[in-house]
Amino acid sequence: MQLQNYINGEWQPSSASEFLEAINPATTEVLAQVPLSPAAEVDLAAQAAVAAFPNWRRTPVQNRIQYLFKLKTLLEANFDELARTITLECGKTLAESQAELQRAIENVEVACGMPMLMQGYNLEDIARGIDETAIRQPLGVAAAIAPFNFPAMIPFWFMPYAIACGNTYIVKPSEKVPITLQKVFELIDQTGLPKGVINLVNGAKEAVDAILEHPAIRAISFVGSSPVAQYIYAKAAAHGKRVQCQGGAKNPIIVLPDADLKMTTRIVADSAFGCAGQRCLAASVAVTVGEAKKTFTDAIAQAARERAVGFGLEPGVQMGPVITRQSCDRITGLIQTGVDEGANLLVDGRSPQIQHYEQGHFVKPTILQNIQPQSTIAQTEIFGPVLGLLHLNTIEEAIAFVNHNKWGNMACLFTSSGAAARQFRYEAEAGNIGINIGVAAPMAFFPFSGWKESFYGDLHGQGRDAVEFFTQVKVVVERWPKDWSRQF
């Protein structure tokens, strides 16, 4: 199957000279050929979005959101098929794919509140007889550039808000997982959305650079690795665009001695090994404080060994493969670096034999014990099912470790002490905080709030931040005297 672009309300074959293979990472079966669309196809999408904007902007917001209500219904009607597609191309388990899709739908639901959300504000008599009003207006054309690990959810952090605010849109999915969005766009096509309001362009660097440089594109949302986030942030800003870039992460979880061991172990294992560790909110370092070391270490090692690994569509499987063979190699290389740096390989998940899926891109849950705070393994994003264990003596030392982290996507604390929880919530320098939570993923009506090198920009995705990102405020100061001669 050769994938197409969706431009101006029509499926269009790409004129790309290069195609990549989208692969099922569990079986290595080739699922589709993905075009690496040239800049000219981004330009076609931008032209379609520019042409659609004046009428879309004038469409009353309550009419705009009717298309989102239709899309929500269609996503729900096709839920099983879409979830299966996510598992096939991305590798996560079916339950994880269903959860991801649910999160995508929740963003559509929140954006349906746009008649309330994008209201401005006003004040009469800011001077005698003069009124002032702040109005929110759409920007024009905006675009999203997405990563591989949430093929359905991440474009939905942006797209529903952008169009509900009256913008027109272009999405560039990850070239590694392009099929889910093809299916989503088949549903978008059925909503009857006017031509050009949402466009899909497959591709990689050339398409991204064309988006960054295109004069008609006013705003860019990016999610992916930090080096690419920095590149996109700088280049988009240099081209005068509004930009928000969510980057990589290295998320610490602190376990205090008073934490409920059973609950903590289950939740930390789900955080570290769920989605094969390919979540920007995956726990990747667990810091045990004081007496928590012995009990937690034994329990988490057992949980890692017991996790059922395999093809995500099969019942009972708790963890799927990682995305590519290169990812496998990078992850196993980093595990070796940890060993070379002196860590103890408590659970070794390298080179597993998964029956019937011997060619698949599998790494089993891995635990490195006694890692050092400054070591590569403690400071590098692994993006695989690898958990480092670090031991410290006090909560203050643990918070200092969190705050020394160059990333700031998430930090979590496990405790039964309200005072410790309050101290952590107050002092920890990360944008998403979990207290007795392993994956502190904000719901659609809150911003996804990364800090430090996990985020470049000021307004985040989702919630009210998304409404601000996709609108610009116009302030109007007015005087309308009945009798001009009495005004002055």
Cα dist from 34 to 182, 200, 336, 420, whole Å: 11, 12, 34, 50
For residues 140, 145, 149, 154, the Cα torsion angle rounded to the nearest 10 degrees is -10
CB of 448 to ligand NAD, least distance (A): 6
Give the nearer residue to ligand NAD in terms of CB position, either 59 or 225.
225
Check if the beta carbon of residue 93 is closer than 8 Å to that of residue 312. yes
Give the nearer residue to ligand NAD in terms of CB position, either 148 or 362.
148
Say which DSSP state 442 is in: P
CB of 425 to ligand NAD, least distance (A): 20
Give the nearer residue to ligand NAD in terms of CB position, either 56 or 469.
469
Give the nearer residue to ligand NAD in terms of CB position, either 67 or 231.
231
Q: How big is the chain, counted in residues?
A: 488
CB of 17 to ligand NAD, least distance (A): 17
Q: Whose CB is nearest to ligand NAD?
A: 224
Q: Is-catalytic flag, 90? A: no
Q: Can you tell me the distance from the alpha carbon of 344 to that of 324, in angstroms, rounded to the nearest whole number?
A: 26
Alpha-carbon Rg for the chain, nearest whole angstrom, is: 24
Pairing verdict, β 121-127 and 130-138: antiparallel
Alpha helices in 307-408 (DSSP H): 325-340, 376-379, 395-404
With residue 251 as reference, give the H or E element that holds it. strand 251-255
CB of 456 to ligand NAD, least distance (A): 10
Q: Can you tell me the distance from the alpha carbon of 328 to that of 336, in angstroms, rounded to the nearest whole number?
A: 12
φ, ψ of residue 482 in degrees (nearest 5):
-75, -35
Pairing verdict, β 344-347 and 366-369: antiparallel
Q: Which of 245, 280, 328, 412 is catalytic?
A: 280
Give the nearer residue to ligand NAD in terms of CB position, either 35 or 224.
224
Point out which residues bind ligand NAD (CB under 6 A).
145-149, 172, 174-175, 204-205, 208, 223-225, 228, 231, 246-249, 280, 381, 383, 409, 448, 450, 454
CB of 39 to ligand NAD, least distance (A): 12
Cβ atoms < 10 Å from Cβ of 176: 21
Q: What positions carry a catalytic annotation?
A: 280
